[in-house]
Amino acid sequence: MKVEAKVLLSLGTFFGLMCAVYWNWSLENAGGVMMFAGMLLCFLPGSYYYWWSRRMKPRPEDNPQATQPEGAGVIGTFPGSSIFPFVMGMGAFFVVLALVFGIWLLVPGLGLVVWALLGGTAEGRRGGHH
């Protein structure tokens, strides 16, 4: 966890320094704001990982001497198949087409999106297919 945190925090620090130099030198706001936001985007997950890395034991994947049995057990849920990503994708497709061809396409678009959200959530609670 420590290395992950360090990667993000050092990127964020560099963006912060670059932002300070750029903004003070150029007085141009668009780039300054975007660099500042880039710094925040690195600090947010980076500080979360750092916080946890100081409070948890090193995971097997952080331990250079780990053996494979240490990783045994359920490590997550991996649904083998699900129709809802496709439904959601088609919904997003119709929503975007509504921007071009007419607002009425939002009806099937948002319908599919809502269906996929409900169906996908329900499927997730059941554990999905394997």
Tokens representing 74 are 């359920």
Q: How far is the CB of 47 from another protein (least distance, A)?
A: 14
Neighbours of 71 (CB within 10 A): 11
52 counts as binding another protein under rule CB under 8 A: no
75 counts as binding another protein under rule CB under 8 A: yes
Q: How far is CA 70 from CA 56, 63, 75, 107, 110, in A?
A: 16, 10, 11, 50, 45
111 counts as binding another protein under rule CB under 8 A: no
Distance of CA 42 to the CA centre of its chain: 12
Sites of contact with another protein (CB under 8 A)? 3-4, 7-8, 10-11, 14-15, 18, 21-22, 25-26, 28, 30-31, 34-35, 38, 41-42, 45, 49, 60-76, 78-86, 88-90, 92-93, 96-97, 99-101, 120, 129-130
